[in-house]
Amino acid sequence: MPFNSVGTAKPQGAAELAEREGISEEEWRAQNLPATKLEFRWRYTNKAIHLYERRLRSLAAFNVGPAVQAWVRSRLEWVRDNRFYEMPDGVIVLTIDPEGEVDIQQEPLRATPSFANAPGTLWTAKDSCVHAEQDISHAADTLVRDLCKTLGFELGEASLEGEDAEQFRVSDEFGVIAHEAQNGPITQKLVECFDKLWTLDR
C-alpha cells in the first residue's frame, strides 16, 4: 500500500481500507490503483507546483483512487516544505505502481524541446475549432480545454486538416509548444493565455 521513504508514517494497508469500505481487497485495488506503473512529470517554479489542484484531480482519470490521491498530496506537501529550497525551480517526477507505492523525485528543468521532440498530447486547430488527439486527462490539457471554452473556440471531435490547420502539443512539464510550420492565431492565443495562467491556477 502507498509508502515510500519521504515524509511521515505509512498509511493503512489495502486490506484494511477495503474492509472499512465493505468490499474485497481485490475490488478495492481495482477501484483505486493503476494496472501498470505510472509516471507523471510536473513543472514547478519559485517553489510552487503549477496547476497543483488540477494535477491531483487528474489522477482519478488514471484509476488512482482517493486514498492514494491523499497519500500523494501529503508527500507533495512534504517535498514542497522540505526540499524545494534546495531546487526552487524544477520538475516533480511522480511514480505510482499497481501496489500503490508512491515515489517522488525532483529533476532540474530541461530546455524546451522542439515540437517534433516534445512530449504530451497533440492538438489540432482550424477555423475557431480545436481538437485533442487523445483523451483529455492531464492537468495542462484540462486547462487548454477550459481556455478554449472561455475564448469561444469549439471543441471538435475529429482531427482538423488542411494547409491552414495548426498543430501544437500540451504537457504538464512544458506547457503549450507550437508546431514551427503549422502555427497560427489560435495556437498563439492559447499560448499567451496558458503562459499567464498555469503558474497561477492552483
For 56-84, what is each residue's pLDDT tens digit?
999 999 999 888 888 899 999 999 999 99
Strands (E), 63-126: 90-96, 102-107, 121-126
Rounded Cα gap, residues 188 and 178, in angstroms: 8
Q: Which of the pair, 14 or 55, is modelled with greater confidence? A: 55
pLDDT confidence of 26, banded at 50, 70, 90? Answer: confident
Listing from the earlier edge strand, what are the strands of the sheet with 38-45? 48-49, 38-45, 90-96, 102-107
pLDDT of residue 164: 85
Mean pLDDT computed over 141-154? 95
For the chain, the average pLDDT equals 88
How confident is the model at residue 111, as a pLDDT?
94
- Give me the mean pLDDT over the 160-170 stretch: 88
In tens, the pLDDT along 119-130 reads 999 999 999 999
Q: Which amino acid, one-letter code, is at 71?
A: W
Helices (H), the chain: 14-21, 25-32, 52-58, 66-82, 139-151, 185-197
